[in-house]
Amino acid sequence: MTEKKPPTFDGPTEKILSARRSMLKNLGVGSAAIAASTLAAPAIVRAQSPIKWRLQTYSGAPLGAHVIKPQIDAFNIAANGEMEIELYYADQLVPTGELFRAMQNGTIDAVQSDEATMASPVDIAVFGGYFPFATRYSLDVPALFRYYGLKEIWEDAYKDVENVTWLSAGAWDPLHIFTKEPIRSLADMNGKRVFGVPTAGKFLSKYGLVPVTVPWDNVEVAIQTGELDGVAWCGFTEAYEVGWADVCKYALTNSVTGAWFGSYFANTASWNKVPPHLQELFKITIDQSHYYRAVWYWGGEAKLRTEGKKMELTSLPPEEWQQVVNDAKGFWDETAAASPRAAQVVAALKAYSDTMEKAGYPYR
């Protein structure tokens, strides 16, 4: 039996239909290939070259390993090649006292420090670092900035400063005095040369303490050689971490303040070149740094004060310590008279202190 073949049509209509079928077939194959290629190699939008920043902290390397390095490492990983921050420690690029100017002129892109230590030219600089009895606990600092107006005051102060952007403030450790010879009375402070932050040093000089400035990395040797008698710079966690507890034999338990005010700053031109998503990432990792640091300090203070074996604890007589507390009130009023913004800060500190005292346990 002979198989019948389908009829063929060679007219113009069939030629048109055949051309259409061929076009659709080729289009289908091409579209599938394009789709497969798109799925296999998704587009990744990246800058042509990473943004490079140089950031210097006030702290030396042993301390910087806790107060900033985890944050910079986290940022560099999360930035995924779009931006890289090079971290420098105290005095590595510029002396600490020149940090502000170096950032302002673009020698460095960002800074972690307090205002007083780096000589920030703003009228609220005196509150950066250790302002006597401004705080009792580390959480006081973010509470003051978020709920008592300090954030807005700081932002307002830096609007008057060319090419510097203030980003965030956080808490560090309390201020204790560690020395080679014991302090058991106010008279024992007289003549003792200590490495310390400017504002607390100015206040404590009332009792004869002598603030001395040396490079951060030279402090331990300066204590060993007798150039310094001790430090009025930090709490127990830091003193043990950086080695100062190895050269100081005594620790004064009376704390002049409960937490250091430190901040992050950026050169405004450098900050404006960073795209919004990386700006947000940097601010998020700053918050992570505030959290890490607060827990690290808090976990060490009580433990080392009670279990640490390197320093003997001393305390001032209650009536002498009360004198120091009372003297701080006068220091606050003198500072408030310096400028309207300084008066705003002092008013906020007083309002916060009053609230905490009224709240009682567990807040005070």
Mean pLDDT of 131-148: 96
Which segments within 127-258 are labelled E, that is strand? 164-171, 175-179, 193-196, 210-212, 230-234, 250-257
Q: Quick one: 141 and 115 in the same domain?
A: yes
pLDDT at 43: 42
CATH number of the domain bearing residue 75: 3.40.190.170
Report if residue 353 sits inside a domain: yes
Mean pLDDT of 316-337: 96
pLDDT at 197: 81
pLDDT at 362: 81
Report if residue 220 sits inside a domain: yes
Q: Specify which residues 76 forms β-bridges with.
A: none
Report if residue 45 sits inside a domain: no
pLDDT value at 12 more than 50: no
pLDDT at 141: 97
Q: Quick one: 218 and 355 in the same domain?
A: yes
Q: How many domains are contained in the chain?
A: 2
Cα(143)–Cα(165) distance, integer angstroms:
21
Domain that holds residue 230: 175-259+307-359
pLDDT per residue as tens digits for the range 33-58: 434 444 444 444 554 699 999 999 99
Please give the mean pLDDT across all residues of the chain: 89
Q: Quick one: 254 and 156 in the same domain?
A: no
pLDDT at 31: 44
Mean pLDDT of 240-255: 97
Report if residue 117 sits inside a domain: yes
pLDDT at 33: 41
Cα(307)–Cα(313) distance, integer angstroms:
11
Report if residue 138 sits inside a domain: yes
Mean pLDDT of 17-22: 48
Cα(102)–Cα(267) distance, integer angstroms:
9
pLDDT value at 336 more than 60: yes
- Amino acid sitting at position 195: F
